Amino acid sequence: MNNMPTNEFAISKRSSRKRPVSCHFCRSRKLRCSRRFPCPNCTSRGISCEVYASQPPENLSEDKSNSSTDATTANILARLQALEDIVLQKNKQISTPDSNPIPNDLLAQSRSIWGEQNASEDARWLQLECSIQQMSCVIEPDRAIFKERPIGQINEGVSVMVQSSLMVPSEDTTKCFWVPLYQESRCLVEKYVEDLTYLVHVIHIPTMRATVDQLYRDIHVQKRPNPSHVALLSSIIANTLHSWTRQDSDKWLSLPVDGANKGAFMWLKATLDLLDYASQTSGDALEGIQARIIVSSLVCNLEGVSPRYRSLLMTAIASARELTLHRIDYQDDSTNMDRRTTSGTVEAEIVRRIWWYLTATDWVLSHWEGPLKGTYTVNPRHMLVRKPSNIDDADLCHGTPIVEWPMEYPTYVSYTLQRIRLGELCREFTDRTSIFGSEKLNYDIVLEYDKKTHDYIKGFPTFFQLEGGSLQDIEKINPKVAPGILTQRYILNTLTYAHRCRLHLPYFAMGSVNPSYAFSRKVCLEAARAVIRAERILEKESISFVRTRFRFAGSMHCLSIAIIVFVLDVCLYKNEGHEEERKREAAEACAILQNAKNDSSIAARLLNSFMQVIQKHKVSINGMNNASTDEGANVISTPDLGSITTEAAGAPGSPSYGFPGLVAEESLLNPQSSYWDGITQTFDSRTETIDWNALFFDLEAQGLDGGSLL
């Protein structure tokens, strides 16, 4: 009996040793293992099924320390496998019950798919590695430092500092970019925010202020600031000084008006130098693109759509593409190098404002005379960027959900959204026309496009309508943006109506002999009167833009288009009745231009440009004295109004110049004046020889296109 228990124990012991144990994975996860290898649990997960004990079964219970070590190892391996599953996204496979293992063919198919995905990802990564190159450190730019000094002592935005005793360029030569003192810069920035950002709102005001603060912190601790940040500040200073008035000297900084206006040219050049230096060092940055856009608006006001302006615009578009701004809302974009700009962030909204400003400008320019007419760079099928949200900058905060206001609520972005729609209309019209076709544009297309433009104007939010309320009315809705809304209303209406005039003006003269084009005359007169009405409405408001609006080429362009319409109407439609009233309309428009030349050189250049263009196209009046340009002067002088007579057009070949805005005001306001008879005779005899496209092209070559406000 004593042997019996011993024998039973021995038998049971031998029996237990022969039983298979669970595999590594099942023991680590505490799963029921079938103990038939490979087990269903491992098979369903596509992992290797390993027997728990590497030693013979007889030794399993004899070495408990080895068993403990194996369990720890199995646990580590299981954890590593789980991490690998996450990385390779294998954890998407749903584990099945032991009684329902995944079939081998399905498992093989899944492994094939995983392999293809991994291979595709590797191929794409290698392609990007081969295609995307970083800037080479071999091409080193000139050394540069950044210092601050009182703005009154900055005579040049960038200077050259020589470290050696020899005052010649050497290895010790360093560029020095100057910035005003911190408090001065803050005043200039706030002036820009209050009066100018409404024109080209491609910034986020709190972010821009933070950028300026960081710039000065870097300078104070002798750390090299980002050149793009300095360029952004410099572009803001240049625009601010260009619009400086006596009221600004009392409110912001004690700067002489003449000195500030001339200083704008220095800061403009400094911005261009900074942008060039930034492109050589830090590469493309959002702030650099913003600086190019802001400074291009100033260039356009000074030069028009010049080669320099077009270069700045195209470079900004290219830089935006380098930063993949054109695909900011493509969520699966692995080429986006800055994931801060994911949808729903402040950075993403800034990107949308930048990209859509560039896109709308590109499309608008496709409809204007010049090298870019009939073409555009940004294809809507080659971008994926949502339009900016209708939200105030103060409501656009980091970590806060973006909640849009309805379109009828005025915000900083209201004008931007309307400007985008105008750009879309221009692109649609460009797509319907051919720049290489010899056939004349189908008038039905003009009428179709005019209807779209008319509907676009009628769809303006209430606060953008010409009779949309005064400053006090808008302040009741949103006081933060009320002055800017009045500025934007003026810009939007004058440019849109001038745009409509340009569409119909080639058919305006034809309507005097062909009743089929009578509609073009009606549209042109309505649009020209709307431009003058916008001027009269703005004059009644007490905002700073009223004093500086004629420093913007866009204002001059719109006024000039209105004057052309009124003068042509008097000359070509003298038998249509209401002659005196129509002459008075022309006289009032010319009077605005006369007043403008006293405040800005743009009006003076406009008058001279009209004289040159009209002389070139043989539209002239005897007795006009040619305007002269003072040698070495920046401002073009205007003719003496007292010496202008109202004689009729003389014989061909006689020296004659003319434009109604240059005659004495009493002659303009007197509909019975012989001046009107003279210009009428001139237009009657020369109408068929006027090349309207060339006329506009010459005006725009003089810087009168207004692209900066668009």
Give me the pLDDT at residue 35, please: 79
Give me the pLDDT at residue 232, please: 97
On average, the pLDDT of the chain sits at 76
How confident is residue 135, by pLDDT bands cut at 50, 70 and 90?
low
Nearest-angstrom CA–CA distance, 7 and 2:
9
Note the maximum CA span of the chain: 150
Nearest-angstrom CA–CA distance, 61 and 301:
92
Give me the pLDDT at residue 605, please: 67
Query: What are the pLDDT digits (tens) for 463-481?
Result: 999 999 999 999 999 999 9
Give me the pLDDT at residue 58, please: 39
**Out of 25-34, 164-173, 648-657, which region has the weakest mean confidence (pLDDT)?**
648-657
How confident is residue 264, by pLDDT bands cut at 50, 70 and 90?
very high
Percent of the chain beyond pLDDT 90?
A: 42
Q: The tokens 């006596």 sit on which residue?
A: 246
The answer, yes or no, to whether residue 20 has pLDDT greater than 90, is no
Nearest-angstrom CA–CA distance, 553 and 368:
14
Query: What are the pLDDT digits (tens) for 95-116?
Result: 444 445 556 655 565 556 555 5
The answer, yes or no, to whether residue 640 has pLDDT greater than 80, is no
Stated pTM of the model: 0.73
- 567, 633, 202: which is closest to 393 by C-alpha? 202
The answer, yes or no, to whether residue 263 has pLDDT greater than 80, is yes
Higher model confidence: residue 284 or residue 422? 422
Nearest-angstrom CA–CA distance, 707 and 166:
47
What number is the average pLDDT over the span 288-306? Answer: 92
Query: What are the pLDDT digits (tens) for 236-257?
Result: 999 999 999 999 999 999 999 9
Query: What are the pLDDT digits (tens) for 648-696?
Result: 233 333 322 223 333 343 443 444 444 444 444 444 444 444 555 555 5
Nearest-angstrom CA–CA distance, 257 and 350:
33
What number is the average pLDDT over the span 195-215? Answer: 95
Give the angle 200-202-203 at the CA atoms, nearest 5°: 120
How confident is residue 484, by pLDDT bands cut at 50, 70 and 90?
very high
Amino acid of residue 103 = P
What number is the average pLDDT over the span 380-396? Answer: 94
> Distance of CA 477 to CAs 390, 457, 485, 493, Å?
15, 22, 11, 21
Going 661 to 662 to 663 to 666, the CA torsion angle's sign is: positive
Q: In the numeric block, which tokens belong to residue 379?
A: 């294809």
Q: Residue 162 is inside which H or E element, if any?
A: strand 158-162
Q: In the numeric block, which tokens belong to residue 494?
A: 């004058």
Query: What are the pLDDT digits (tens) for 312-362?
Result: 999 999 999 999 999 999 876 555 544 445 667 899 999 999 999 999 999
How confident is residue 376, by pLDDT bands cut at 50, 70 and 90?
very high
The answer, yes or no, to whether residue 5 has pLDDT greater than 50, is no
What number is the average pLDDT over the span 296-325? Answer: 93
The answer, yes or no, to whether residue 641 has pLDDT greater than 60, is no
Nearest-angstrom CA–CA distance, 369 and 254:
42
**Out of 210-224, 272-286, 438-452, 667-681, which region has the weakest mean confidence (pLDDT)?**
667-681
Phi-psi region of 370 (alpha: psi -120 to 50; beta: other; left: phi over 0): left
Within 8 A by CB and 6+ apart from 630, the residues are 636, 637
Specify whether the CB–CB gap between 590 and 666 falls below 8 A: no
Convert 4-28 to b/e letters by CB count within 10 Å (16 or more is b): eeeeeeeeeeeeeeeeeebbbbbbb
Percent of the chain beyond pLDDT 70?
A: 65
The answer, yes or no, to whether residue 436 has pLDDT greater than 50, is yes
Q: Other CB atoms closer than 10 Å to residue 273's CB: what's the count? A: 18
- DSSP code of residue 410: -
What number is the average pLDDT over the span 533-558? Answer: 89
Give me the pLDDT at residue 656, please: 29
Phi-psi region of 559 (alpha: psi -120 to 50; beta: other; left: phi over 0): alpha
What's the residue count for the chain? 710
**Out of 332-346, 431-445, 532-546, 596-610, which region has the weakest mean confidence (pLDDT)?**
332-346
Q: How many helices (H) and strands (E) does the chain have?
A: 25, 3
Nearest-angstrom CA–CA distance, 518 and 530:
19
Within 8 A by CB and 6+ apart from 537, the residues are 466, 467, 490
The answer, yes or no, to whether residue 415 has pLDDT greater than 90, is yes
**Out of 477-491, 596-610, 617-631, 649-663, which region has the weakest mean confidence (pLDDT)?**
649-663
How confident is residue 579, by pLDDT bands cut at 50, 70 and 90?
confident
Give me the pLDDT at residue 128, please: 62
- DSSP code of residue 95: P
What number is the average pLDDT over the span 622-644? Answer: 33
Q: Residue 264 is inside which H or E element, if any?
A: helix 257-281
The answer, yes or no, to whether residue 618 has pLDDT greater than 80, is no
Give me the pLDDT at residue 567, please: 80
